[in-house]
Amino acid sequence: MDDFERDLSRLMRDTRQHIPYEPEHRQRLHAGIRARRRSRLLWKAGGSAVAVAGLSVGLALLPSMLTRAQPADHRPQPTTSPTTSPDSTPTTAPPAPSTTPTQQPETTLPATMTGSSTPSGPTSEPAGDPRPTATASESRTTSAPSAPPPSPTPTTAPPSALDSEEPSASVYPE
Amino acid sequence: MEQVRADGFDEFAAARWSALLHVARLLTGGDRQRAEDLVQEALVKLWFAWPKVAEQAPEAYVRTVLVRLAARSARRRWWGERPVDQLPDRADPGDMSSAVAERSRLEAALALLSPKQRAAVVLRYYEDLPESQVAQALGCPVGTARSHASRGVARLRQILSDAVRPVG
């Protein structure tokens, strides 16, 4: 620090004059603080109002955007379903082949059921429920013992009428 | 809680008012009204930061705010502050005391510096701050702050020697 810098430093300090902190300075300062606080509150209120408005607009537009997006999501499904249909056709196909054999069970079922001793069972069952006819027609070609069980149940298990609602489940294990 | 905060803040403002006003006056090149505005604005900013800085260094905080406010206010067009070759007014020893004449001469010379140079010179030679703190207050690297201070001093040396010559 040379002489000039020392003189400069001294000059800056010597020229300092004491200015008291008067009540009017204090009032002015606190008025400035209140004004700044008010402007901060206004900014915060404005910001939160903008945020709420943005959120409400977003929430209002969201359902319409979702519903608009849903058909686009479902459209590809039919195009892919025919590829999966070969797997499902065996499950849905049996009713169709069942129609052709159902005309024959009138003759075939009595032929299988004639083995049993009761003639009244076979006449009522094939007409009432199409499933036994389908199973009977299919089982006729694959396995013969599956058709006879419906007929023995009414004859061999008469004691409980309630058990007759699910006879096949209780009888098949045996 | 608010009352404690207000009491501590008022004590600080009352104790440092005169010194802050003098720094602001040096930073504005002798403009007393602008210096008061700057001190008030800096103290308002300090009020909102008071819970954080009260226990640490409120003086350093308000000094930094003051320097930045002074630099920003000097950039505003309506202040009309432009460096000129000639001093706008010179102290007349005939109708003023020597202290007032010296102060006016110094403030007039400081007014000719750029805001960064002025702030660097005031912080370095009046506040006697190390270069690192000057750089922190200016928001620039230490080398830049040192450069501002040395260029400001060189300019002041030239201005004050030119001003003294006609008077002497």
pLDDT-based confidence at residue A101 (cuts at 50, 70, 90) = very low
**Nearest CA to B62 among B43, B48, B79?**
B43
SS3 B57: coil
Average pLDDT over residues A65-88: 60
Q: Are residues B70 and B3 in the same domain?
A: yes
Domain boundary among B50, B81, B112: B81
Q: Is ipTM > 0.95 here?
A: no
Q: State the residue range of the domain holding B23.
A: 1-81
Angle ∠(B97,B115,B141) on CA atoms, nearest 5: 130
- Whether the pLDDT of residue A51 is over 90: the answer is yes
If you ran DSSP here, which 8-state letter would residue A16 be given? Answer: -
Determine, for residues A16 and B125 on separate chains, whether the beta-carbon distance falls below 8 Å.
no
Q: Structural domain tally of chain B?
A: 2
Q: Are residues B144 and B112 in the same domain?
A: yes
Per-domain boundaries in chain A: 18-64
Q: Are residues B89 and B120 in the same domain?
A: yes
pTM: 0.57
Q: CATH number, domain at B107? A: 1.10.10.10
Q: Are residues B77 and B98 in the same domain?
A: no
Q: Are residues B93 and B155 in the same domain?
A: yes
Q: Are residues B63 and B112 in the same domain?
A: no
Domain boundary among B42, B59, B81: B81
Q: From chain B, which residues contact A within 8 Å (Cβ)?
A: 10, 13-14, 17-19, 21-22, 26, 40-41, 43-44, 47-48, 99, 102-103, 106, 121-122, 125-126, 128, 153, 156-157
- Sign of the dihedral defined by the CA atoms of residues B149, B154, B159, B165, in that order: positive
Q: What is the pLDDT of residue A143?
A: 44
d(CA A4, CA A71): 84
Q: What is the pLDDT of residue B103?
A: 80
